[in-house]
């Protein structure tokens, strides 16, 4: 298959590297001269200065969309109408505009579209889900998820003020930038029925987006998720705790450990990912899954319906923060 990677920032480069490792024929495009030069030098592939130029000069089977969220839906709609399958980096978009049109185009063209939430491919997240589904934790009560890192450190080779995270018009802000936690919390506790949130800009960072969010989500089952997101911490931290009536699990993503505590034997059982584990394996597995979906062998873990539902939750989070009230979905 011939694949076009749209956007040559850090995540675009990762996908280029992985697609080449999996022996796909790759071309890329970016409006930024520096990024195009870096990709040509690092990967020795053809790089176009626009999507229009790329589509005019080559034929592709699939596109990997790695641009700011505000561009995702329109770009995907263009590709799907030309017969391409699409992998869209998270989140699907910055709002709900145009998503229903994209869903209709995908159904008409029978194309595969998948949203890239790579933590879904963590073996530890799968193990936590197994603990829940097997009843090992008993009735699920609540969970806490947290991630934080100082925005200028996220992409150290770029001016953070020009990145999408700093700009509301591009779909930035910690809610969308760190929406992995919102996605996997829903994956673990079930469908979300109501949210309450406080989202603010607390720092002196030169951004027009929120850099802090505290979110509480209630599921249809009655379980709660408390989610903390920020652009503020000088040291990257990411973790998750899930609590049930029979025990709990603690996932330290930095330390690559998962600890299961059972009330039955009142002791911890610790699982180690291993010193040789490579985080990039999650991205490789995500890419393999996408093409298995294209071939009809699997169904996308995060399809357009899932992506649209997440956009509804993001909108409810913002509405709750602005109104100071619980918002039902």
Residue-wise pLDDT for 88-138, tens only, equals 999 999 999 999 999 999 999 999 999 999 999 999 999 999 999 999 999
Tokens of 84: 């391409």
Q: pLDDT by residue (tens digit) across 299-316?
A: 999 999 999 999 999 999
87 and 63 in contact (C-beta within 8 Å)? yes
Per-domain boundaries in the chain = 125-277+324-328
Strand order through the sheet with 113-116: 46-48, 25-29, 2-6, 62-65, 85-89, 113-116
Tally of CB atoms within 10 A around 188? 22
Helices (H), the chain: 10-21, 33-43, 51-57, 69-81, 99-109, 123-134, 151-154, 174-177, 180-189, 280-294, 304-323
Strands 2-6 and 62-65: parallel
Q: Give the global pTM.
A: 0.95
What pLDDT is attached to residue 278? 85
116 and 91 in contact (C-beta within 8 Å)? no
CATH topology of domain 125-277+324-328: Dihydrodipicolinate Reductase; domain 2 (3.30.360)
Q: Nearest CA to 115 among 315, 301, 317, 316?
A: 301
Tokens of 34: 């520096």
What pLDDT is attached to residue 275? 54
Cα–Cα dist 146/233, whole Å: 11
Looking at the DSSP bridge assignments, the partners of residue 212 are 200, 230
Question: Which parts of the chain sit beneath pLDDT 50?
Answer: none
Residue written as token pair 């291993």:
274
């Amino acid at each position: 298959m011939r694949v076009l990677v749209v956007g040559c920032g850090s995540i675009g480069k990762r996908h280029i590297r992985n697609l080449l490792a999996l022996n796909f024929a790759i071309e890329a495009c970016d409006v930024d001269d520096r990024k195009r030069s870096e990709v040509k030098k690092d990967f020795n592939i053809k790089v176009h200065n626009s999507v229009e130029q790329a589509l005019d000069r080559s034929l592709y089977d699939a596109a990997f969309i790695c641009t700011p969220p505000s561009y995702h839906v329109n770009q995907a709609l263009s590709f799907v109408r030309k017969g391409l399958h699409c992998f869209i980096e998270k989140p699907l978009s910055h709002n709900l505009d145009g998503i229903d049109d994209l869903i209709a185009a995908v159904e008409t063209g029978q194309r595969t579209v998948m949203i890239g939430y790579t933590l879904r491919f963590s073996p530890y997240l799968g193990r936590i889900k197994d603990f829940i589904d097997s009843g090992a934790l008993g009735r699920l009560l609540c969970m806490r998820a947290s991630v934080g890192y100082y925005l200028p450190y996220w992409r150290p080779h770029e001016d953070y003020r020009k990145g999408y995270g700093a700009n509301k018009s591009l779909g930035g802000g910690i809610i969308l930038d760190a929406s992995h936690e919102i996605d996997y919390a829903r994956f673990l506790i079930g469908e979300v029925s109501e949210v309450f949130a406080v989202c603010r800009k607390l720092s002196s960072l030169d951004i027009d987006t929120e850099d802090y969010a505290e979110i509480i989500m209630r599921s249809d089952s009655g379980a709660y998720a408390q989610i903390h997101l920020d652009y503020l911490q000088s040291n990257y931290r990411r973790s998750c705790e899930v609590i049930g009536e029979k025990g709990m699990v603690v996932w330290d993503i930095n330390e690559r450990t998962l600890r299961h505590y059972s009330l039955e034997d009142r002791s911890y059982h610790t699982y180690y990912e291993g010193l040789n584990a490579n985080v990039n394996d999650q991205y490789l597995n995500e890419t393999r899954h996408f093409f298995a979906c294209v071939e009809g062998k699997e169904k996308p873990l995060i399809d357009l319906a899932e992506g649209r539902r997440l956009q509804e939750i993001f909108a409810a989070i913002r509405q709750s923060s602005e109104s100071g009230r619980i918002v039902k979905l």
